[in-house]
Amino acid sequence: MSPSGTGAVDGGDGARHRVVAATGNPGKLAELQTILSDHLDVEVVAMTELGIESPPEDGDTFEANALLKARACAAATGLPALADDSGLEVDALGGAPGVRSARYAGEPADDAANNAKLVAALADVPPEERTARFVCAAAIALPDGREHVLRGTMDGRIVDDARGTHGFGYDPHFVSDRVGDGRTNAELTPDEKHAISHRGAAVRALAPVVRELLAG
């Protein structure tokens, strides 16, 4: 698949837009594809399929990092680019790991190491003080310079024992406030998680903006 072109592919009754997802994370890509396809008729292509490398994520906010990635992919491909930056904020840790969530335990990024460090950091914190939230900033950037970014959150708490096999990242240790039976994010089905997740909230909020930008 060539990165060049008009940004649209044949959609039968009309043009179906091609959007580059600025991620190489399979779990994140799957979530973006599922959530966005519920609202828009688009072909979502991973930047790795087009040979695009992610720029350094050196912004100090989720919004800044999302826009950095979206702008870089739009410039490199000439196509609309969707990016998100997400992470975990734990109140007892002063908001850490925050924008460093993916690399909390250092390089190379490793979910198991990140989770082990998180559990160790909260060893002396009682359950009622382990409040936390997932944050996601989702951004769309077009080659002509138009762009938009929105935030979504999911509040909950951290548990010691990893439970569940779905999701990725900190999901096995996070219980959302919107789940009444105590299941972690990793114990939810993908559809259950998409309905309440920070990424779902951000991308659903962004979908009408994406539709308007692509139509223009």
User: Which residues are annotated as catalytic?
Assistant: 85
For the chain, the maximum distance between any two Cα atoms, rounded to a whole number of angstroms, is: 60
Identify which of 185, 180, 181 has the alpha carbon closest to the alpha carbon of residue 165.
Answer: 185
Distance of alpha carbon 170 from alpha carbon 58, whole angstroms: 21
Nearest-Å Rg of the Cα atoms of the chain is: 18
The token pair that represents 3 in the structure block: 């990165």
